[in-house]
Structures are given as structure tokens and as C-alpha cells.
Structure 1
């Protein structure tokens, strides 16, 4: 991708730089800043309330605050636009109630703005911050807080001056994940007509037909991601996420009646706005507009989505398992590199990854066809860039890091003595892995497979650019309907995506308790 862009992007890239590219870059930076600020405002206080205070219904909120992760942001964007637009039910009710006749007679916020896109993205991405911050707070050594109390700090001062600073590395990791997701977002910003680098790449390639300029824009976007990752690592250099001696305690802050009310309103409002309300709107659409003839098309598209997601999840888990076990049994300093390198793809936006794969697979396909013609064989066609192979490959590259983390954590819990015991009885390495390690890792492997499967089902930008002709997944099908303002016809498919997104949340919460 980088090679294709250097020196080959012609006049279009120069024209973009002189006209709209500075706006694309500034919008990308502003959107990332606004979303990062909002997820901090949403995620950190909610994590603090759940983990450190005696908040009523905290047991329910503990997992309910994770539910927005199951909602694709572009779905929330459409549903809220439909709800709050001028022709939507909210403004119609206001006009009927107060006798207003035109928009000039009253003010109402416009959701289709950069700030509106930031709010929508923050509502579905704040669980990253909530989840990692809550975990960091719960695993801290409470003796540190008690030491602060003996030095004259109140309980709240100890939380603000000790607990939250100690959780800062985990918070920064979560914010970095949110920033990468924001930079990679395509459907939400395009629906709101907010021009960012991701929309510029898409328009330059498919609109102007200039792949070299699109590669150049993708390279700029990749630099943004690289800067984000490096800045996050530098910001927490030398810091630890938590104490080495975690001490779980039920000694939580008591809240007054007013604080209870404010905390409950804040937390439940996040759950309602991020999940319950949009999911309820989807169900209402499905009830009002579902038709039997739509079910056949959705079933066919859904089956194709399940197949490629299952293939990608299986390949990613197999790769992660192979590399993690290699590092386990051959723990030399350089043997961790394959596992680390295989996880780099998660930081690459789907749009950029699609551009890179097209820049790679396209020439290979042409070479294969030229070679076949030279040998007087029948041309194989586009076997890499023109089939679902490219989509599955992109899924594996993009989400291998998720499988790596889950499986590596599972392997890390296995005592090293178990590795050596079968060898002392004459059992070979492969037999040891098959009969000892794989049964122990069964749960970790399943969770890794499930997480990759769900992420693959929800992925949109890479599929939009890599899919063959006449091929749809549920995400691309629903996106096309949203672009045509016809989500009602695909509401059942959207519900299907959300329900699958809930599975890992429910499973992980069940295992926690």
C-alpha cells in the first residue's frame, strides 16, 4: 500500500490536499478528541460507582453497562436520527403540543453533525473505558487506600488521589482502543455527512477510481493510528496497572440519598441511551414492517455471514493457538515475536486493511492470470482479490489480536510443571498438547472463537471494499438499507447482529459470577 502510494498518486491527491484534505484531517482529529473526552466522562464515573460505592442495583448495572458494545454505532446513528429528526416522532410531538408550525419557531439540536457523531460513538464505545477501569479499581491493593486514610485523607480523597491515579494506565489503554475504533469508523460518519479520512479513502477509490490516491490517504490514516499507539505507550511507560498484591474488600463508600439518585440516573441513562432505547426501536420496526418475503433474503445473507465469520474465527483461533503454544514450549527471547506480530492488525482500520490487501492481492491475481495465459492454461480469474478469501483473510488479520489475548491468558494460567510431567512418563510433545493442554484450554479457545466470530459479523468497512460482486453480509446489507433510509426492511437482520453481539457479554458475565 505504501509502495503504491509513493510518487504515483498524481494530480488528484495534490488537488485533495489543496482543497478538502485539511478538513478531513481536522474532522478526524476533532472527532477523536470529542469521543475520547466523552468516553472518559461516561466510563470512569460509572466504573467508580460500580466498583467503589454501595450503589443500589450495582449487581445489575455491573453487566448492563457493557450492553452497548453489542450495538453497531451506525445502527444507533440511524435510529436516533429517525427518532429526533424534523419529521421524527419527538419533534412532531413537540409541534403538536406547543402549536409550532415551522423550524423557525423553535430550536432543536441537529444530530447530523460532528458533535452528534461523537455522542453516538461515545455511547457505544464507553464500555471499553468502563470495563478496564472497573477491573483496575477492583484489583487494587486496598491497604494503599487505608494507608492514605491514616495520613489524613478522607475516603473520597483517597479514591481521587490514590485509586484513580493507580488506574490511569488501564484507563489510557481503554481510551487508546476507543481512539482506534473512532479513527476506523466509516458508516456512522458517512451517514452523518462528516468527512473524515475513512470516508475520503472510500470516496477516492470508488468515487474517483484513483487507487493510488486512496492508498496515499490510507497511509496518512495509518500514521494517525501509529501516533496514537506510540503516544499511549509513552504516556504509561514505567507504570503498573495495579498492585502485585490485590486485596478484594467489601469496604465501599456509602452514598447519601441524593448521591444514590444521581448515580442511578447517570448509570441507567447510559444503559438506556446506549442499548435499551435503540434496541427497543429496532424491535418496534421489526414488528411494524417485517414481511415474510424479506425473511428468505435475510436468511440467505445471514447464512453467508455466519459461514465467513465461522471460517475467520476458526482460522484466527488456530493461528493464535499454534503461536501461543510455540512460545510456551520454546520460550526464547525471539520466539514471542510471531505472536506479537500476528496481533498488529487490530490497530489497522478496516478501510486501510482493505486497501493494503487490494494492493497486494490484485497484482498477485494478475500475475497468476498472466502466467496461466503464457502457459496456455485457462485463466483462474480473481481467486484472491475477487472472492470471499480476501474478506476472511482480512478478518483473521484484523481480529487475531483478540484471539491472541484470550488464549495467551488461558495458557498463562497453566503451571509449567504440567508441561514437564508427561515428558517424564515418555509422552511426546504433540500427545501432551492434545491430551493435557487442549482440554484445559477448551474454555479459553471457545471464548476466543466467540469473540472473533462476533467481531467478524459486525465488521463493515473491510467487507464493503473487499466483497465480490453480488455478495452481501448482514452488516453490508443493513448499511445499504440505512444509506437508502430503509432500515425498516432489514430490522430483523439488525436485531440478529445485536443478539449475536450479546452472546460474549452474557457468557463472560456468567463466568465472572
Structure 2
């Protein structure tokens, strides 16, 4: 009797996932396990111990690396906020000359990798470079020793370089929040005697706080994973320490132990972001009508224009102008090297393969979330999205051992069954690097397809099912055609991110395999970074396409989110 009473619930629990799309749920679980694989491998590698190197790391490496990393995170967090939030407020709520162009131009620094900006500014701000030479000419100083600007190879210089590249993350999220803020709360503050500045500080910023915190978190995660600009500007951050411990000291367990410290810092940043968003909630009650832009005139209008143009000038225009001039001089002197064409082809092949893998994995995760909204599926989706928070150097170390083990296992089977050796089939061919791209950028297509699904009514699924369509056929025949725009956008962004990815590419690429990013890094290491100007210019020009597309999508999405609010008010 007891057995009969307990069998039906057990039977239902077993059959429910299959009835609700168990194949997709299992696929999402496999993707989540794939994302966790490098972390688990990292723990196993670190547990092997680094011999007598660990005391040296604790005494001499970790204190300096932690100090510089924390200072860098603090400086970038503050400076990106000070640059991005006022620009987002001005563009979203005011009208002034150049506003329409600056609305999307403020995103252009996303097209320029941080290491390229560092190389460019080191030339531009060199004692014999154009800036200091022009200042000495204006002040009548003949000797370079008579006027010296602060050295860019410092913690302040690194904070400046990373901030002018990463502020668009904060700008993008803050602008979207300001665009949909209710006009009622701001108008009430104005009627109670608060000026524009006080309204901005006391009302608008608290309402946009979750979006600002999310944008700053993304900027901090990018800062934590940076290796090109940080190493080139003389920083000894955790990421740089991982690279030097692995490559220069040939101690993989020691690098894994530093990587675990870095992962703990990543976890602290993510938990801090969630705590900051939950600790204080601000809700604007009443009308949800978005505010009308305020027309600025006179000095205020031109001041707003110059303030918003300055980040674009520093983060995009100056590096682009320098790269264009340096590339033109290099082409005039020695022509276009065939090596650049080969490296561009390698970059494109890797980025394309990574794009296909990443978009496929992201589609699997998004489809699983669509067909099964259970808690277990939600947990798998959240785990799969953590890949973006894992820096490239950490991914590289975490994937090295599992991929090598898989190659050895495959080679053993091939020897037993066919008497042939497959060698390093995945690691030697760049398969580990493509997998790293897939894990690192998985969040982009997953969130993009999820946003596309949000526009598709669940009634479409019901109609397809009522017509006898299986879940697989429904995804192929109904969902995919309607998600083409979201998939194409995600694919383009992943492709460009793969073109400019440096840390994972530097550590996992096959021997003798060079890309545009590694070519630039090698030239910088030889202090001949001007020879990499053409490669850098190619990366920047390719990166412009998704940035412009992202600007258009973000503006239309924000305006679309504001329209239902106003229409619902009129309907009420």
C-alpha cells in the first residue's frame, strides 16, 4: 500500500522533464557543465601545489598584484562613472548641438581594444610626441627636459586608458535607464524648488542606480581581465601575474593558485553588485510618462556638447587618428606585409569558428529557458551565463588540462582501434581557444536571443503545438525565422570580440599561429608597436560595425520600453 502511494509522484517527476522539453534542458545542463569545467580544472591544478614557489608568491607577488589590482578597479570604477553618467543624463534628457551624433558616438570606444589605446597614447604623449612638442612650442621651451608630463606608465595612466575605453558600458546602461524614467518624480522635485543639478543628484541617479551599478560591474570585470594595456603600462596586476608565472616561470600550479585568488575577487564584485542593487530600492510612483528633453541654449548648450564630446575624443578619435597616420607612414615606407594578410585570415577564421560555437551554445540555453521555465532550468541558464565573468587568462589555464586529457584519451583510442596517432587534435589545432571563445562570450547570444524571445508571444508556441508541431520542429520552423535579427546581431558582436580578444588567444593559440591581436602584442613587447599600427587599424575598423549597430538597437529598445508606459496611461 505504501509503495502504491509513492509511485505516482515518482513517475510524474521522471516524465515531467521529457514532456516539457527534456532534450533542451539536458542540453542546457551540458552547456552549464562546460562553463564550470575550467573552474573545476583550475581547482584541481591548484591543488597539485607549486612547490617552493608558493611562499615566494605570497610574500612578493600577491601583495603587489592585489594592491595594484584593487587600485585599478577603484580608479576605473570612479572615473568611468564620472565620465559616463553625466553624458548619459545630458544625451537622454537635454537637447543641444550635436546631441544626435553624440548619442551613438559615445559608444565608439567599444570598438578600440584597451591595448591599442595604450600603445597609441604612449606615442601621442611621448616626450618627443605631438602633444608635448606642441606644448613646448607654445610655451617657448626648446629642451624636452624643460616640460615633462606625468609618465603614462603608471597606475594613473592605466586608469585613464582603461576608463576612456570602458566607460561606454556605464553610459549604455545609464542612458537606457534615464530614457525611461518617469517625468512625474522629476517634475515634483522641480515644483518643490529643486534645481536641475539637485534633481539629477537626488532623484535621477538613485532611480538609475541599479543600471549604473550593472554597467560599472561590467567595466570592472573587463578591467580585471585586461592584460595587454596593464602589462604594457608597467602594472603587475593579478592577470599579468598569472601570465608571467605560467609563461616566464613555467609553473602552471602557481598560476592556477593566483587565478583562484582572481576568481574570488570576481565573486566579490558580482556579489557586491547584487547587494548594491538590493540594499536600497527606489521606485517612482504615479505617472510613468517619460520626460520630454529640455532645450539647452547658450553656454550651457555648448558646454554640454563639449563635455559629451571629450570622452569620444579621448577614447576613439585620438587613437584612430594616430593609428591612421602611423599605418599610412608604415605602408608608404614598406608597403603591406603579407604577414598582416595571413594574420587577418587567421583572426577571421578563429573569430568565425568561435562565433558559430558561441551562437549555437547561446541558442541552446535560450531555447531551454523558453520551453521549460522550471527552477532547475533557470539555474542551468544562470550558470551558463557566468562565463563572461571569467577572465581570459583564467579560462586558458582551466581549459588547458581538460583539453590535453581529452586529446590523450582520443589518441589512445585511435592507437588501439586503428593503430594511428591523432596527436594534439584539439589543443594543437586551436580547438581549446575556440571553446574558450564559446564560454567567454556565451552571454552575448544567450541574452540577445532571450530578448528576441521576449517579443514573441507564447500563443505562437501554443498554436504550433496545437497543429501537431514537435518542440524541435517548432524551434526550427517558427522560432528561428523570427529570431534571425537577434541571432545575426549576436553573431556580429561575438565575431568582433573574437577578433580583438587577447588574453585567451595569447595563451591557447597553436605554436606559430599569429593573429592580429597577438601580432600587436608582440610588436609592443619588442618596443616596435608602430609596426603593428596597420593590424590595430584593421581591428578598430572591423569593430566599428557592431558598435554602430549596438547604438541603434539600444536607442530603439529604450524608446520601445518607454512607449508602452505612455500608451497605458492614455488608455487608462
- Regarding TM over 0.5, the answer is yes
CA RMSD of aligned residues (A): 2.2
Structure 2 CA distance, aligned partners of 1:335 and 1:304?
37
1:343 matched to 2:422: no
Q: Which moved more, 1:223-232 or 1:313-322?
A: 313-322
How far apart are 1:15 and its partner, in Å? 1.0
Please state how far the C-alpha of 1:240 moved relative to its aligned partner: 6.3
Q: Is residue 544 of structure 2 the alignment partner of residue 502 of structure 1?
A: yes
**Structure showing greater relative contact order (alpha-carbon pairs closer than 8 Å, 6 or more residues apart):** 2
Q: Please point out which of 140, 144, 151 is paired with 1:110.
A: 151
2:175 is aligned to 134
Could you tell me which of 316, 321, 328 is aligned with 2:363? 321
Q: 1:426 to 1:394 in 2, by over 3 A?
A: same
Please tell me whether residue 210 in structure 1 is matched to residue 247 in structure 2. no
Moved more, 10-19 or 186-195: 10-19
How many residue pairs get aligned? The number is 512
Q: How does 1:35-434 map to 2 (within 5 A)?
A: 35-95=76-136, 98-103=140-145, 105-237=146-278, 247=288, 249=290, 251-290=292-331, 294-369=336-411, 377-434=419-476
- Residue segments in structure 1 that go unaligned for 5+ positions in a row: none
Question: In 2, distance between residues paired with 1:422 and 1:367?
Answer: 44
Tell me the residue number matched to 2:75.
Answer: 34
Contact 1:351 1:462 in 2 (8 A): yes
Question: Is residue 2:483 matched to residue 1:441?
Answer: yes
Q: CA, structure 1 residues 428+369, in 2 after alignment: closer, same or farther (shift >3 Å)? A: closer
Query: Post-superposition shift, 1:324?
Result: 1.3
TM-aligned CA deviation for residue 57 of structure 1: 1.4
Instruction: Give the distance between the partners of 2:285 and 2:453, measured in 1 at CA.
Output: 20
Find the aligned partners of 1:366 and 1:496 in 2 and give their Cα distance: 38
Task: Give the counterpart of 1:473 among 496, 501, 515.
Answer: 515
Deviates more, 1:202-211 or 1:136-145: 136-145
Q: 1:99 to 1:427 in 2, by over 3 A?
A: closer
* Unmatched tracts of structure 2, length 5 or more: 1-41, 557-572
**C-alpha distance 71-254 of structure 1, shift in aligned 2 (>3 A):** same
| Whole-Å separation in 2 of the counterparts to 1:248 and 1:314 | 41
Residues 147-200 of structure 1: CA deviation (Å, up to 9, x unaligned): 334444344433322221010000000111011100100010111111111111
The answer (yes or no) to whether the contact 2:61–2:241 under 8 Å persists in 1 is no
What is the Cα deviation at residue 379 of structure 1?
2.9
Q: How far 1:243 moved relative to its partner? A: 6.2
Give, in angstroms, the shift of residue 385 of structure 1.
2.4
Contact 1:422-1:432 within 8 A present in 2 as well: yes
User: Are the equivalent residues in 1 in contact too, given 2:182–2:291 (CA < 8 A)?
Assistant: no
Q: TM-score, normalised by structure 1?
A: 0.94
Q: 1:265 to 1:426 in 2, by over 3 A?
A: same
- The alpha-carbon distance between structure 1 residues 375 and 419, as it changes in their structure 2 partners (threshold 3 A), is closer
Contact 1:139 1:243 (8 Å CA) reproduced: no
- Cα pair 2:107 2:551 within 8 Å, conserved: no
Deviations 1:314-357 (A, max 9, x none): 11111211221122122222122332222111000000110101
Cα deviation for residue 87 of structure 1 reads 2.8
Cα pair 2:97 2:302 within 8 Å, conserved: no
Distance 2:319 2:216 in 1: 24
CA contact under 8 A between 1:155 and 1:253: conserved in structure 2? no
